Structure 1
Amino acid sequence: MSTQHAAEQDITVLGKVTTAFGVKGWVKVYSYTDPMTSIFDYPSWLLNIDGQWRSYKVRDGKPQGKGLVAALEGVNDRDAAVALSQIEIAVPTSELPELDEDEHYWFQLQGLKVFHTDGQLLGQVKELFDSGGGNQVMVISSCAGSIDSRQRMVPFVGAIVLSVDLDEGQIQVDWEPDF
């Protein structure tokens, strides 16, 4: 284990430790990656302990029931594993795989402003989630300048999301404001 000083924008959260698993220091892991086992593609994780990112080598990891469990270097008993409960798991953003030109990580979309094709500002992406069956949904909340104070849920599919411009911080959608 080592301490890493990193700016928040250089870190991407991939999941969290939920609780201990067994008595030998294993932890249960909730992964935000798709597929969930992709979190094991990273040999070291950063855990946010008391506001500081600390590096832990992953000794072993595997599916367990409907979730995942992992053994981390330096975490050798149940008490040490329990101490990591509800701690975020992250990696340096530079370690994420390169995406194709038309692909985006969810964290890149959060905070972008969403405009209708006619130029109306619908709001800002608050979060994204998978509604099942591979369907992603953007939760759009009102922001300064938006047409109303409604929260909208807009499917993130090609027929609706016409463009994403990370440099301009905006997404253009063909989604009626009344929905």
Structure 2
Amino acid sequence: MIIISIKKPIAPLLIGKVGKAYGILGWMTIFSFTEEKEKIFNYQPWFFFKKKWLKVQLNKWKKHNKNFIIHIKGISNRSEARELTNSDIIINKDVLPVLKKNEYYWNDIINYKVFNLNQIYLGRVINLIRTKHNDILIVENSLKTLKKNIFIPFIDKKIIKNINTNYKFITVQWN
């Protein structure tokens, strides 16, 4: 396998995952974590991480079923592609478009503190889930007696009252 570079990203951001090898010519399946799946190809260069960092150069890609298949420059057979199975696809965060004031990316609000309207601390954001009807904010419960996470529907203005990007907190209408 040809390694283009062994540099790692300065501000790593996970945007996808490499699946299994596809065919005998070095193609592989990938899974995009971007909101619009095809936008994964707008963010270059890619770094693969699986025990070590590899900076890769995308040669070709095609839509295949509900995902994509890709060919990386320097990968010429199934065995080489198989070595990259389960690698994370990472980019430098600085390749994302610059946002306007008070806009944010989902990964930016991970670890934000969450308070209800009575200023009671509920916990910190540990993840977000996309569902068919609305997104879900997953908050690690601050109460040690209740070990379950809090799932708060991400409904702007109704439940999510304020996201303060300066002080990194979210105010919600929640008990």
Q: Secondary structure at the match of 1:100?
A: coil
Deviations 1:106-161 (A, max 9, x none): 1111111110011111111111111124x211111123x68954421112221211
Aligned length: 171
Q: Secondary structure at the match of 1:2?
A: coil
| Equivalent in the alignment of 1:172 | 171
The one-letter amino acid of 2:19's match is: T
Instruction: State the TM-score, normalized to the length of structure 1.
Output: 0.87
Equivalent residues in 2 for 1:104-115, closer than 5 Å = 104-115=104-115
| Equivalent in the alignment of 1:2 | 5
| Equivalent in the alignment of 2:43 | 42
| Equivalent in the alignment of 2:18 | 17
Superposition CA RMSD, Å: 1.8
Q: Secondary structure at the match of 2:128?
A: strand
Deviations 1:35-66 (A, max 9, x none): 1111111242111132x322101111121011
- Conserved 8 A contact 2:43-2:96: no
Structure 1 residue runs of 4+, over 6 Å off? none
| Equivalent in the alignment of 1:60 | 60
Instruction: State the TM-score, normalized to the length of structure 2.
Output: 0.89
Deviations 1:55-90 (A, max 9, x none): 101111121011111111111111111111111001
- Conserved 8 A contact 1:121-1:147: no
Distance 2:138 2:57 in 1: 34
How big is the shift at 1:103?
Answer: 2.7
Identity among equivalent positions (%) equals 25
